[in-house]
Chain A
């Protein structure tokens, strides 16, 4: 097996041994769709949700966006910053394998676990809980891909600036919670004040959630949201690449 393959397999094994991370990755999205999926009213068309079924057009997109947010903004940066803080990246730099391989394998493992959980949420949700399939599947896929790239780029930027795992956690939380509030998680976007609805569309978390909700309801992806995600992805990835240090 190549060094990158071996590193990725090792990182996957380590993730499986990390109960806190598993709880977040599996528990949060599954808990949300299971709890709300069992409330009968959530499957009825609802006037407050524009006549749509809230389980499909609010809870399911939220479960996916929260999963991506936790992985990208909290778990990934905490792992990478800890690896830097403890000299694990540096140790690798002294071996024949460049530490960039560890970064790539960590990213691959986080992405893979995100994709697996999204598949599980969709499978269980659509198969057993009555969640509808996205009304605009291509738009939905575009929103998902851009959302993933954007959020993980921000995660890499946090990993680049944080000197330790603890600081990375702190920054992750500082970025994550305001984005929940402003992104229409605690209060659905349509019930936020007019001015804040605009903010929701130009922050990556809110833009991902909004785009997944709207495409799930069958609407086309909103250009402002797509541009927001693309810009955040480019800026954050470029800044992370410039700032990131191996030691």
Chain B
């Protein structure tokens, strides 16, 4: 069942078009990513879904609700983590959760949630004394306090160190296990690749592609490189005879096979059938960033 449906969304601010044409659907229980460079229209898109902005045209349905018309009902069912939103400096963690819990019909258990998000020790700490990672976890907690069916998380690991980022990713997987559908906005390739079941790649306000991370990578005719030192002499023709192999190069007893598509599997299968062991094997495969470059003609950092 589609939980979120966005069709031909358009939104402009004065002279600039923030969202040109965005359509996608998010299925129940999945982690759906919106990936794109800064300024691509990701945040505007989710703000329309959250009912914080009114689209110029197009239609949005969240759990069958219209974010502009059924706002009150939507707010009960949609958890939101906003980019760059803070809490009052002197508000303590538990007070913030108690306050927000009082806004919902069917709030989650505060102590349980604090425990799940590793904030039990910090329950009496004022907001201003929390580290960046703790503030981020608190804002995820706030997104979950109303027991939402859908959670929208916007740039949730920006500004976190690598360890805190990995911890947050695990947290998100836990949240999904609770049955919450997650819409994740990010500009980190690694985050999208690791967490998302499916992704919409957005650039300059338009959807460039929607697929699984692996699917996106596979659509790219990017080359894979396999480098190894064969345990026995290996005839070039065996390798070049494989349909997906483009080039074979030798350097000091080490061979580099370059190819596309399924080349890694073909080469390893060939080696296995010849009982050749590949020493110092290295595979360089195309990733999401290659897919992004191929689909948009530029890197995500531009």
Contact = CB atoms under 8 A, between A and B. Distances in A.
A93 interface: yes
Contacts of B50: 94
Nearest to B105: A96
Contacts of B75: 94-96
Contact of A87 (B72, B82, B98, B142): B82
A138 interface: no
B16 to A, nearest CB: 18
B250 interface: no
What's the dominant secondary structure at chain B's contact region? loop
Interface in A34-58: none
Using C-beta atoms within 8 Å of the partner chain, give the interface range for chain B.
Answer: 20 to 34
Interface stretch (A7-15, A113-121, A181-189, A196-204): A7-15
Contact of A17 (B72, B86, B90, B99): B90
B86 A95 contact: no
A10 B103 contact: no
Nearest to A94: B80
Given A6-B102, A96-B75, A90 B90 contact: no
A17 B128 CA distance: 13
A93 B52 CA distance: 7
Nearest to B72: A96
Given A6-B99, A90-B52, A94-B52, A14 B88 contact: yes
Given A94-B52, A95-B75, A96-B103, A10 B90 contact: no
Contacts of A95: 75, 80, 100, 103, 146
B124 to A, nearest CB: 13
A86 B86 contact: yes
Nearest to B139: A91
B91 A10 contact: yes
A210 to B, nearest CB: 37
B88 A88 contact: yes
B87 A91 contact: yes
Contacts of A96: 72, 75-76, 103-104, 146
Given A93-B52, A94-B50, A87 B86 contact: yes
A18 interface: yes
A13 to B, nearest CB: 7
A3 interface: yes
Interface string A94-109: 1111000000000000
Interface string B95-130: 100111011100000000000000000000010000
B76 to A, nearest CB: 6
Contacts of A195: none
A1 interface: yes
A3 B88 CA distance: 17
B251 interface: no
26 contacts: A3-B102, A6-B99, A10-B91, A10-B95, A10-B99, A14-B88, A14-B90, A17-B90, A18-B90, A86-B86, A87-B85, A88-B86, A88-B87, A88-B88, A90-B85, A91-B80, A91-B85, A91-B87, A93-B52, A94-B52, A94-B75, A94-B80, A95-B146, A96-B72, A96-B75, A96-B104
Interface of A: 1, 3, 6-7, 10, 13-14, 17-18, 83, 86-88, 90-91, 93-97
* The 8 A-B residue pairs with the shortest CB-CB distance in the complex, in nearest-first order: A87-B85, A94-B80, A86-B86, A96-B75, A91-B85, A17-B90, A6-B102, A97-B103
